Structure 1
Amino acid sequence: MPSVRTSQAWVPFAQGRLFAKHWRPAEAADSRAPIVLLHDSLGCVALWRDFPKQLAQATRREVIAYDRQGFGQSDPYPGRLDHHFIEAEAQGAFAALCEQLALPRVIVFGHSVGGAMAAGCAAAHPERCLAVVTESAQAFVEARTLEGVGAAKQAFSEAGQLERLQRYHGDKAAWVLSAWVDTWLDEGFRDWNLNASLARVRCPLLALHGDEDEFGSPRQPERYATLTAGPALMRLLPGCGHVPHRERPEAVLDAVVPFLAELAD
């Protein structure tokens, strides 16, 4: 496998600074679009663990991950998330990252709510987004999602559980947890869906989903595959829960590598 060089950067934007990390394989070509990773509701750069390096080696593309505002090493988020936070990522932090790092063309890869954000980025920046990969992404609120979030809220109420988040988010950990559970369990969020954004996605899209995902049924990737305006593929990963890139990284790479190999960039 090609060797991978890592580096990091601080990206200024209107509301503070974002932390970003790069993985660049020795054989990466400057002309090829990099992959930008968007993390899940409790995630950050560090919680991608070894997957960005594996992805860079397998695709021979640069991989860039960043901590969304309020997460990981990025600056705190001022106040509560509003109900438009998923769509707003495209015009805020994502746009700032692409401008500051001079990324004219990118592939957007998002996990869970990051997958919804990835589709939103492609909808808002069709000239910049070459392709989208979603993994365990939500397109609407369903009973399984609410049950999973409710169970997680209960689990995090037990002694010592918040400390797990503090390892990665420091004194922002309580905000991170609240931003997830309080938003998704809010009655005012029940009608949220990504339909309008998906209809504006014209680039190729690959929707990956574990068949044992505790936060979403196969109806979630089906919506990604059927509502986008461009070519779309859906693949259910057997024996996978909500985090396929950690549970079965080889299956994720086996799906992503040939999908990206078809791109003309």
Structure 2
Amino acid sequence: MTEPVPAHDMRIETGRGAIFVRVCWHETSLENAPPPVVLFHDSLGAVELWRSFPQALAAATGRPVIVYDRLGFGRSDAFPGALPADFIAAEGEDTLPLLRNAFGFTRFIACGHSVGGGMAVETAGRYRENCLAVVTMGAQAFIEERTLDGIRVARAAFQQPEELARLARYHGDKARWVVDAWTETWLSPDFAGWTLDAALAQVACPLLAIHGEADEFGSHAHPGRIAEGRGRAVLLPGIGHNPHREAEAPTVALIADFLAGLDG
């Protein structure tokens, strides 16, 4: 049996609070390592909710994997105020330079789940000279009624104390903020015109869009739009919104095969 890739935990100061970061690799300095995979989590996500995926991905790809709790989530400090409307585009701009400085890498692969997939695309477009590839899993490319319907169902469920308590296992007393940051942002009329189109037009590297065939938060139009003219879309039969949890091994294998052909 292959030994698991070690995981190193630390905190990085952002100027607005500290974020919790985990790097899955043999060393925390990545200056001499292959370009890492940076993981961007979903709207309710946290480092611990990736479960075994980061270490499995590091083992399969032979690359460091960096995963972190966004400010306001998981073990990171509380977000100062309401989530801004440009949070998807801002994540890479604000956080990637901190990760690069902390771990000593220049080139990277951007990989994200759900809204984190949008963050991966935005980051790849912003750092097009240094981003080697993009992987999205269950990502949204535009506002779709199917997505909003799923969010409305979730918002109603989180009115139940037991549902919020389950989320609090990962986010502590930030759990209500986490739910509201997701539901109220996406359901706001001001967010209705959001798309990834401008960011996608800036992506200059290979792209893989993975999507569950039964994804309850987005139709097959999303991976098609993300990959059109710039990469490959893969639909996983019988899988919902979380390919990395529902089908970890096939998802890891898809990503490893995709990254194996990179020059770097």
Which TM class, normalised by the smaller chain length? over 0.9
Q: Secondary structure, in 3 states, of the residue corresponding to 1:41? A: coil
1-10 or 66-75: which moved more?
Answer: 1-10
Q: CA deviation at 1:3?
A: 3.6
**For residues 247 and 21 of structure 1, what CA distance do their matches in structure 2 show?**
22
Equivalent pair of 1:87/1:120 in contact (CA under 8 Å): yes
Q: CA deviation at 1:2?
A: 4.3
Q: Secondary structure, in 3 states, of the residue corresponding to 1:199? A: helix
Q: Which residue of 2 aligns with 1:45?
A: 47
Q: Secondary structure, in 3 states, of the residue corresponding to 1:104? A: coil
Equivalent pair of 2:31/2:103 in contact (CA under 8 Å): no
**For residues 262 and 25 of structure 1, what CA distance do their matches in structure 2 show?**
23
Q: Which residue of 2 aligns with 1:236?
A: 235
Amino acid paired to 1:82: P
**For residues 128 and 166 of structure 1, what CA distance do their matches in structure 2 show?**
36
Q: Which residue of 2 aligns with 1:144?
A: 146
Q: Which residue of 2 aligns with 1:20?
A: 21
Q: Identity of paired residues, percent?
A: 47
Q: CA deviation at 1:171?
A: 1.0
TM-score with structure 2 length normalisation? 0.95
**235 and 29 in structure 1: CA distance in 2 versus 1, 3 angstrom threshold:** farther
**For residues 100 and 182 of structure 2, what CA distance do their matches in structure 1 show?**
25
Q: CA deviation at 1:101?
A: 2.0
Q: Secondary structure, in 3 states, of the residue corresponding to 2:79? A: coil
**For residues 260 and 87 of structure 1, what CA distance do their matches in structure 2 show?**
24
Amino acid paired to 2:7: T
Q: Secondary structure, in 3 states, of the residue corresponding to 2:6? A: strand
Amino acid paired to 1:78: P
- Count residues with an aligned counterpart: 261
Q: Is 2:65 the partner of 1:63?
A: yes
**For residues 158 and 169 of structure 1, what CA distance do their matches in structure 2 show?**
17
Q: Which residue of 1 aligns with 2:250?
A: 251
1:178 to 155, 174, 180: 180
**For residues 247 and 31 of structure 2, what CA distance do their matches in structure 1 show?**
27
Q: Which residue of 1 aligns with 2:90?
A: 88
**For residues 128 and 64 of structure 1, what CA distance do their matches in structure 2 show?**
16
- In structure 1, list runs of 5 or more residues that go unmatched: none
Q: CA deviation at 1:25?
A: 5.5
Deviations 1:44-79 (A, max 9, x none): 101101111111111111111011010011111111
Amino acid paired to 1:166: A
Equivalent pair of 2:209/2:233 in contact (CA under 8 Å): yes
